[in-house]
Amino acid sequence: MTSASAFPPAEQLMPEVAALIVEALNLEVQPDEIEPDAPLYGEGLGLDSIDMLEIALVVSKRYGFQLKSDNENNQKIFASLRTLSEHITGQRTQ
Instruction: Quote the pLDDT of residue 53.
Output: 93
Question: Which residues, 6 or more positions from 7, have their beta carbon under 8 angstroms from its beta carbon?
Answer: 13, 89, 92
Instruction: Quote the pLDDT of residue 14.
Output: 97
From first to last of the 94 residues of the chain, give the pLDDT tens digit. 444 457 889 999 999 999 999 999 999 999 999 999 999 988 889 899 899 999 999 999 999 999 988 889 999 999 999 999 999 999 999 8
Question: Which residues, 6 or more positions from 87, have their beta carbon under 8 angstroms from its beta carbon?
Answer: 77
Instruction: Quote the pLDDT of residue 69.
Output: 83
DSSP 41: B
CB 77 within 8 A of CB 85: no
Instruction: Quote the pLDDT of residue 5.
Output: 56
Give the C-alpha separation, 23 to 91, whole Å.
Answer: 22
Q: What is the pTM of this model?
A: 0.89
Q: Domain 8-91 is of which CATH architecture?
A: Orthogonal Bundle (1.10)
How many CB atoms neighbour CB 59 within 10 A? Answer: 24
